[in-house]
Structure 1
Amino acid sequence: MGAEPVRTHRLVEEPTAGEESASLIRAEQEAERAEEMALMRRKLDGVVAFIAGPANVAMQLGWPEVGYGVVESRVENGRADLHPFKRFRTTIGYLGIALLGSHEQRVAYREAINGQHRQVRSTSESPVKYNAFNRDLQLWVASCLYYGSLDAITRMHGPLSREEELVLLRAGARFGTTLQVPAELWHRTPEEFRTYWEEGLDRIEIDDRVGDYLRGLLRVDLLPAPLARVLGPLNQWLNTGFLPEPIRDQLGLAWSERDQRRHDRVLRVLGAVSRPLPHVLRAFPINAMMWNLEIRRRLGKSMV
C-alpha cells in the first residue's frame, strides 16, 4: 500500500474585534448613504436651481460677514457679477457633488475651493471681519442650502415624514463637510436645526452695499441687458417667494398673500410635472454640472 497523502490544513484567521467593528460601521454608512440616495431620487428637483438659487444666495449673504466676503472678494474668476455662467456651473456642480457625488469627488472639490477661500479675508478697510475658512460662517452657508432644499421639497411634494426628514438632514451635512465644517457641528435633529435657523435669521443684517448686490442678483442684472429685461421681473418674483420674511423686508421686496398663493400654486404644479420624470431628467441641471466638474477633474482642469 502507498503512503498516506500528507494533508495540509489551511489556517483561517478569524477577524479581530476591531475588524468586525470597522466592517459594521462601513455597512451602516453604506446603508445610510443608500437611504440618502433613494430620497434624492424621489425628491431632488433640479429646476429649483433656476427658480430659487439667487434667493438662497441672499439668505447666505444676509450675515454681514458672508455678505462682505462676497462683495469684496478679490477672487475675480469666482465672482457671479463678472462671470455669471462660470459661477452657475461651479455652484450648481458643488450642490451635485455634495448630494450625489462620491467621497473622492467631494475631497477633490474641497481642495479646489480651498485655493479660492484662502484669498477671501477681510482687510483693514472692511466694515466687518471675515475669513472664508471660518467654520461658523460655513455652517450658516450649509444650513441655508439645507433650508432651501427642505423648503422646496415640501412645497413641491408635500411634508416629509419624520424618517424622511432625518434622512434629508443627514444628507444635508454634506453641504458643510464638503467644505470645512466637521460632521460633529452639523444639526443632530430637525428641532435643533429649526432653533439654529431662527437664531440665524435674527443675525441677518443687510446694508445698502450688500443689498444692492442682492437686488441686482434677483433681477439677474448680471445677464446681458436684453435677457435681464425679459427674465428679471419673473426671476425676482420667483425668488422672493423663497425668502424668509426678515430678508424680504430688509431688501425692501413687496410680497402679498396673493403672491404667496400664486407662488404655492406654481410650486405644486412644478412638483406634479416633475414627479413622473426619470431621475436623470428631474435632477437636471444639478447632475449635468456635477458631471461637468468631474470631467474637468479627470482632464486635470480647475474645478472652480
Structure 2
Amino acid sequence: MSIEHPHPDLVADPTAGEEAAPEIHADAAAVRAEEIALLRRKVDGISVFLAGPSNVVLQLAWPEVGYGVVESKVDSGKVTQHPFKRFRTTIGYLSIALLGSDEQRTAFRKAIDGQHRQVRSTPDSPVKYNAFNRDLQLWVASCIYYGTIDIFTRMHGPLTPHEEAVVLRAGARIGTTLQVHPDDWHQTPADFWRYWEEGLARCHIDDRVGSYLVSLMKVEIMPKPVARLAGPANLWFNNGFLPQSIRDQLGLSWSDADQRRHDRILRGLGRVTRRAPHVVRAFPMNAMAWNLEVRRRLGRPMV
C-alpha cells in the first residue's frame, strides 16, 4: 500500500520506496565516508537556532516524553535551570551522532544513560514513562531525523531518493547514540514516512506540556531582556517548522503569507551558507562537539 509523503518536496520522487535504498557496501569505511561527505554538504549550524526548539516540541508531543521532561528530577539537565549547559550537550550530541567517531558516541551514550536512569514516572504522573523505553527513544531520534532532512530541504532543495536513503542510514546513529537498537531503525524512507504519519497521529499535547513548549519557543528561559528581544522572532521561525496538527494543539496560527516568507528566508540563507567554509557553516555544532571531546579526554562529565 502506498502512502502520501507528508512533505512532497522533501524528496525528488515521493513514490520512491524500498527500491531507492542504496546497495549494502562491503567496505564499511566507504559507506561511512559517503555519509559524512553528504552531511558536510548539507549541515548548517544556524539550523539549531532556527528550528531546534520546534524539534523539541515534536519530541515532547508524545505525552510520555513530554511528562518525562516536565516532571524530570534531574536538575542538572533541565533547560529551564541550565540553558547554556543543555544547549552545549544537545548540540554536541547531534554533531557527534551524525559526524563523530564510534568512540565519541559510545562515551556520550554512557554519559546520557546515567541521566536517563533517573527519569521514571511516579504514581502521581498522568502517564507512565521510562527514559530507557526504546519506543520513546525511537520517537525522539525519529523527530531529530525528520528535522534534519526538513531543514536540509528547506535550505538547499529536495533530496534525491539516493541522498534521502544515505541520510536515513546515517540517521540511525542518532538513535543508537541513545538506546535505540540498530534493528529498530527505519530500513527505508518509505518505512520512515509510514512511521512518521502514525507517530504524528499519536501526539497529544495538554495544557501543562503545551505551556512549557510555547515558553521554550519564546526563549523565556533566557534573561528577560533577551527573551523580549528574541522571543517573537524565535517563536515565529520555529512555528514555521511545525506540522499543522501540532500548531493546532498549541493554539498557534500560521498563514500562507507566513509560509511564503519563511520559505524565502530559508532559501536565501541556504544560498549564503553554501558559499561558506565548512568550519564556519557548521558552527556552533562543531564547537559544541569539540567541547564534549575535550571534556571526555579530561575525564570531565560530558552531560
Same-fold status (TM-score > 0.5): yes
Query: What does 1:225-264 correspond to in 2, within 5 Å?
Result: 225-264=224-263
Give the structure 2 partner of residue 164 of structure 1. 163
**Structure-2 separation of matches of 1:287 and 1:242:** 23
**Structure-1 separation of matches of 2:216 and 2:166:** 32
Larger radius of gyration: 1
Give the structure 2 partner of residue 59 of structure 1. 58
**Structure-2 separation of matches of 1:27 and 1:102:** 19
**Structure-2 separation of matches of 1:76 and 1:63:** 22
Query: What does 1:37-48 correspond to in 2, within 5 Å?
Result: 37-48=36-47
**Identity rate, percent:** 69
Give the structure 1 partner of residue 265 of structure 2. 266
**Structure-1 separation of matches of 2:174 and 2:248:** 27
Matched, 1:50 2:49: yes
Matched, 1:80 2:72: no
| Aligned residue identity for 2:178 | L
Matched, 1:285 2:276: no
Give the structure 1 partner of residue 89 of structure 2. 90
* 1:70-127 C-alpha deviation (Å, 9 max, x unpaired): 0000000100011111100000000011001000000000000000000000000000
Give the structure 1 partner of residue 28 of structure 2. 29
Give the structure 1 partner of residue 214 of structure 2. 215
Task: Tell me the CA shift for residue 26 of structure 1.
Answer: 9.2
Specify every segment of 5 or more residues in structure 1 that has no aligned partner in the other structure, as ranges: 1-24
| Aligned residue identity for 1:251 | L
**Structure-1 separation of matches of 2:170 and 2:280:** 21
Q: CA RMSD in A?
A: 1.0
Give the structure 1 partner of residue 180 of structure 2. 181
Give the structure 1 partner of residue 16 of structure 2. none
For normalisation by structure 1, the TM-score amounts to 0.91
Indicate the SS of the match to 1:198: helix
Task: Tell me the CA shift for residue 41 of structure 1.
Answer: 1.1
**Structure-2 separation of matches of 1:132 and 1:26:** 34
**Structure-1 separation of matches of 2:241 and 2:300:** 35
| Aligned residue identity for 2:102 | H
Give the structure 1 partner of residue 300 of structure 2. 301
Give the structure 2 partner of residue 106 of structure 1. 105
**Structure-2 separation of matches of 1:153 and 1:220:** 24
Query: What does 1:108-123 correspond to in 2, within 5 Å?
Result: 108-123=107-122
| Aligned residue identity for 1:220 | V
* 1:246-292 C-alpha deviation (Å, 9 max, x unpaired): 11110011100000000000100010000011111111111110000
Task: Tell me the CA shift for residue 128 of structure 1.
Answer: 0.2
